[in-house]
A and B are shown apart, each in its own frame.
Chain A
Amino acid sequence: MKKRVFAIILAAAMTASLTACGGAAAPAADAAAPAETPEGGIRLVNNKVEVDEGLKKLAKAYEEKTGVPVVIESLGGGIDTQATLKGYYQADNMPDIFVFEGDLQYPTWEGLLADLSDEPWVSDTEAEYVADGKVWGFPTTTEAIGLAYNADILAKAGVDPKSITGPESMKKAFETIDSKKEELGLTAVLGYYTESSQLWWSPGQHIFGTYFDSGLKRDDTTYIDLFKDGGKLDMERAKPWSEMVALFNQYTDPAGVSGTYDAQVLGFASGKYAFVTQGSWIGATIVNDDKDAYEAAGSFEIGMIPYAFIEGQDTILTNSPNWWGVYKDGNVEEAKKFLAWCAADDGGQEILAKDCGFISPYASNTHSPDDPFAKTIAEYTAAGKTSSWHWLSMKEGIGQNATGVVFQDFAMGNFPDAATFLDTLQKVCENYYAN
């Protein structure tokens, strides 16, 4: 009998220890996320690790003011945020506020987001995320796509950036700078990088994106609508655009076909390129990571000109790169209050600008970050010379899985001319939509 009791206890202990593992499945999913929603507070999932510290400061300021704790969880550095969020949803561990990237990801979260149409900040901005006539996303910052230039070099070469208004003047400017390359200490006129394993997003989405929007009104969806219908390009508009890409290939640093993002930005920051085909987000990298090189190159002034592939295109492409959505089964009331505070409160605005480097999309905001691009973006915005980022609604993954490589192939000289490049690009896009 004694033996038997012992056996029972042993068996029980074994099952208990095992089922404890099974039972722990739910809390284990929480453990995967370092953050847990505090009682009565809110949790925010952000996808920019570089602003993690700034957001935590913001959360602290908010808690001091209102007593509501805010937990910031930053995913990034190679993690696919949306995939992680899907995991959180499956594990019943959704944050109250999370980041999503517009039209592509909205369908995933459709029906799970809270309606933000009646929030006070909606009337203060034009960058909110709208679908089906309702507001679902809170814009955080503004990013701009344009051809960034080194104002010092352009001045020394005697090129006025304002004179570049179309393909002819762009070609002339490139030629002028190219002829003085040596005395200006340039490696190449242009840093146009097309490496396709990590940097596909730059040519495959941004340079491609200029085709959809350059020079157009913010609400003009002509070309993206055409594209969404099976990946069709309008040849009349695409032809001059492809010639601009050919021009880039002619004047770029050949190392661009296998170079990294860091090398590209560093090349520009250290004054080796007069132009670089990256947008306003490189500002933070230039003044932080590449600070030494930038200072050694004389902390030159940086500006931005439109990608004008047709004479007279005078807009740069600005948009909020992503939005914060509110999970409808989370702590909606507190989340809404927090967002309203972020948009309207002077202290909150200051932290977002100074610590996160966000260029505020809110009209009432008075703070701007110490970013070399902040001024340019403000000027274009004030003059109404901005276009939207309609490339955001291209079919998901197209840059990485289809278009990026075509640009690299062209840059390596595998296509005889711009027409072949355009033809291939057209076929690739059609195929991508067909499959």
Chain B
Amino acid sequence: MENTLNKLLSPILLVVGLAQVVIALVMDIAGSKSEIRGAMLVLGIVLFFIGLYLVPTQKHHRKIVYVIFLFPLLFTFAVTVIIPLVLGICYSFTDWTGIKFSNVVGLSNYTTMFKDPAFIWSILITFIFVALNMILINLIGFLLALLCTSGLKGGGFFRASYFLPNLIGGIVLGYIWQFVFNNVAIKMTNNISWLVQSKTALMAIVVVYIWQYGGYIMLIYITGLTQIPGDVLEAARIDGANPVQTLFKVKIPMIASTFTICTFLTLTNAFKQFDVNMALTNGAGSVPDFMGNYLSNGTQMLALNIYNTAISKNNYALGQAKAVFFFIILAIVSLIQVRVSNKKEVEL
């Protein structure tokens, strides 16, 4: 009895639900302002899933239940990540203005961006910035962590104060430091602010970024260091290892996995650097001669370059193409990093 009911009910619900979803979507795309289209869509999806659940099958029932439970996550993921990504890639092949596009221009956005010395410069300084940051932040974070775990008096206080800058937003922090560089530090640098020359301005960004991020990395290292079992350290001490030997032969190998996590974090975050860059220099700075050109965007890193291309230059399609390129770089870097760290952890 139950089975026959299901056999009848299931296809009806499936069809009705699907029809409602389709009608609601068609109405929306056709520009209808009808109030019921939202409710119709929701009801359609619900009916469809009830129908799906009631499909009279023993074999696939479990899979259907999995799909139903996965749907919310998959749906959210699609709406917030997959669909925008696909749309973005599509827009990069058109002359999209942020409102509409009239032509498909093929690869011309991609060729334009690599012909622009300003963009090449942005790529270059981003890589320099990333390399510098990865080394310096890890070094400073690790040293601070050693300091805070060495049993100094007031270790908790230092730990908290090193971490504090990380709680301030990048924009606010950028403006605070801009004030510091232009009004305070200027007294020590012959009345020439660090921020007005490209080279020193880049150093300024590195300094501010380390100040913001060093404390966070320190916390991760502290967690790693405190998890080293006491008996290992004790054994090292009994065997007569001095503190330097303990550090290099015991502590660092024991927290190798923490190092990979931190390298990965600093690497991807430095690549995506935007807010401090924007607030501190807004990308300005002169480069007298790069590939035979005078550049005005001496301190503009990739993310800011993309933003400015789209917003300030009002060239959304080109900005989108640059963003796709940026995505590819980041994806490659992340994949390599994950691969490398997996290998290392296995070896341990």
| A108-B99 contact in complex given A404-B296, A428-B294, C-beta closer than 8 Å | yes
Does B196 sit within 8 A of A, measured CB to CB? yes
Does A155 sit within 8 A of B, measured CB to CB? no
A15 and B312 contact, CB distance less than 8 A:
no
Does A285 sit within 8 A of B, measured CB to CB? no
Give bound CA distance, A406 to B282, whole Å: 15
Q: Which of A340-348, A360-368, A407-415 contacts B (4 or more CB under 8 A)?
A: A407-415
The residue on A at minimum CB distance from B47 is: A12
Partner of A21, one of B54, B69, B76, B191: B76
Does B45 sit within 8 A of A, measured CB to CB? yes
| Interface hub of A19, A23, A395, A414 (most chain B Cβ within 10 A) | A19
Partner of B49, one of A11, A21, A80: A11
Does A33 sit within 8 A of B, measured CB to CB? no
A19 and B99 contact, CB distance less than 8 A:
no
| A14-B281 contact in complex given A408-B196, A408-B286, C-beta closer than 8 Å | no
A258 and B196 contact, CB distance less than 8 A:
yes
Interface residues in A413-435 (C-beta closer than 8 Å to B): 414, 424, 427-428, 431, 435
Give bound CA distance, A15 to B296, whole Å: 52
Does B79 sit within 8 A of A, measured CB to CB? yes
Does B231 sit within 8 A of A, measured CB to CB? no
Does B203 sit within 8 A of A, measured CB to CB? no
Does A83 sit within 8 A of B, measured CB to CB? yes
Q: Which residues of B contact A397 (CB under 8 A)?
A: 308, 312-314
Give bound CA distance, A198 to B46, whole Å: 52
Does A133 sit within 8 A of B, measured CB to CB? no
Q: Which residues of A contact B297 (CB under 8 A)?
A: 401, 405
B314 and A22 contact, CB distance less than 8 A:
no
Instruction: Report the minimal beta-carbon distance from B21 to chain A, rounded to whole angstroms.
Output: 10
Digit string of B269-297 for contact with A (CB within 8 Å is 1, else 0)?
00000000000111111101000011011
A424 and B294 contact, CB distance less than 8 A:
yes
Does A168 sit within 8 A of B, measured CB to CB? no
Instruction: Report the minimal beta-carbon distance from A77 to chain B, rounded to whole angstroms.
Output: 12
A82 and B314 contact, CB distance less than 8 A:
yes
Interface residues in B102-160 (C-beta closer than 8 Å to A): 112, 115-118
A396 and B312 contact, CB distance less than 8 A:
yes
Does A250 sit within 8 A of B, measured CB to CB? no
Q: Which residues of A contact B2 (CB under 8 A)?
A: 1
| A11-B68 contact in complex given A197-B280, A402-B296, C-beta closer than 8 Å | yes
Q: Which residues of A contact B255 (CB under 8 A)?
A: none
Interface residues in B179-195 (C-beta closer than 8 Å to A): 181-182, 186, 191-193, 195
| A16-B46 contact in complex given A197-B281, A424-B294, C-beta closer than 8 Å | yes
Q: Which residues of B contact A431 (CB under 8 A)?
A: 117, 293-294
Instruction: Report the minimal beta-carbon distance from B137 to chain A, rounded to whole angstroms.
Output: 24
Give bound CA distance, A210 to B98, whole Å: 32
How many A-B pairs have beta carbons closer than 8 Å: the answer is 149
Give bound CA distance, A197 to B179, whole Å: 13
Digit string of B237-264 for contact with A (CB within 8 Å is 1, else 0)?
0000000000000000000000000000
Digit string of A231-260 for contact with B (CB within 8 Å is 1, else 0)?
000000000000000000000001101111
Partner of A396, one of B50, B71, B314: B314
Partner of A258, one of B39, B186, B314: B186
Does A296 sit within 8 A of B, measured CB to CB? no
Q: Which residues of B contact A408 (CB under 8 A)?
A: 196, 284, 286
Partner of A16, one of B42, B69, B98, B99: B42
| A197-B288 contact in complex given A8-B50, A404-B296, A435-B112, C-beta closer than 8 Å | no
Interface size of A in residues (CB-CB distance below 8 Å): 59
Does A18 sit within 8 A of B, measured CB to CB? yes
The residue on B at minimum CB distance from A27 is: B38
Does B53 sit within 8 A of A, measured CB to CB? yes
| A83-B98 contact in complex given A401-B296, A405-B285, C-beta closer than 8 Å | yes
Does A31 sit within 8 A of B, measured CB to CB? no
Interface residues in B40-91 (C-beta closer than 8 Å to A): 41-42, 45-46, 49-50, 53-54, 68-69, 71-72, 75-76, 79
Does B15 sit within 8 A of A, measured CB to CB? no
Does A200 sit within 8 A of B, measured CB to CB? yes
Give bound CA distance, A188 to B38, whole Å: 65
Q: Which residues of B contact A89 (CB under 8 A)?
A: 99
Does B311 sit within 8 A of A, measured CB to CB? yes
The residue on B at minimum CB distance from A257 is: B196
Q: Which residues of B contact A25 (CB under 8 A)?
A: 79
Give bound CA distance, A397 to B312, whole Å: 5
Does A104 sit within 8 A of B, measured CB to CB? yes
B284 and A435 contact, CB distance less than 8 A:
no
Instruction: Report the minimal beta-carbon distance from B22 to chain A, rounded to whole angstroms.
Output: 15
Does A196 sit within 8 A of B, measured CB to CB? yes
Does A93 sit within 8 A of B, measured CB to CB? no
B293 and A200 contact, CB distance less than 8 A:
no
| A198-B193 contact in complex given A1-B2, A82-B314, A401-B308, C-beta closer than 8 Å | no
The residue on A at minimum CB distance from B175 is: A198
A258 and B42 contact, CB distance less than 8 A:
no
A15 and B46 contact, CB distance less than 8 A:
yes
Does B97 sit within 8 A of A, measured CB to CB? yes
Does A20 sit within 8 A of B, measured CB to CB? yes
Q: Which residues of B contact A258 (CB under 8 A)?
A: 181-182, 186, 192-193, 195-196
Does A381 sit within 8 A of B, measured CB to CB? no
| A400-B312 contact in complex given A15-B68, A86-B98, C-beta closer than 8 Å | yes
Digit string of A293-328 for contact with B (CB within 8 Å is 1, else 0)?
000000000000000000000000000000000000
Does B298 sit within 8 A of A, measured CB to CB? yes
| A108-B313 contact in complex given A16-B42, A26-B38, A258-B195, C-beta closer than 8 Å | no
Interface residues in B288-334 (C-beta closer than 8 Å to A): 288, 293-294, 296-298, 308, 310-315
Digit string of A172-204 for contact with B (CB within 8 Å is 1, else 0)?
000000000000000000000001111010000
A401 and B313 contact, CB distance less than 8 A:
yes
Does A403 sit within 8 A of B, measured CB to CB? yes
| A409-B286 contact in complex given A11-B49, A86-B99, A404-B296, C-beta closer than 8 Å | yes
B99 and A403 contact, CB distance less than 8 A:
no
Q: For the A-B complex with A14-B69, A21-B76, A108-B97 known, give 6 more contacts whose Cβ atoms are closer than 8 Å.
A: A8-B53, A11-B50, A18-B76, A197-B280, A404-B296, A427-B293
24 inter-chain pairs at a CB distance below 8 angstroms, sorted by A residue, are A11-B49, A15-B45, A17-B72, A18-B71, A18-B72, A18-B75, A18-B76, A22-B41, A23-B38, A196-B196, A197-B178, A197-B195, A259-B182, A396-B315, A397-B313, A400-B284, A401-B296, A401-B313, A405-B285, A405-B286, A405-B296, A406-B296, A408-B284, A408-B286
Closest 8 CB pairs of A and B: A258-B193, A397-B313, A405-B296, A197-B282, A196-B284, A18-B72, A397-B312, A86-B98
B binding-site residues for A, Cβ under 8 Å: 2, 38-39, 41-42, 45-46, 49-50, 53-54, 68-69, 71-72, 75-76, 79, 97-99, 112, 115-118, 178, 181-182, 186, 191-193, 195-197, 280-286, 288, 293-294, 296-298, 308, 310-315
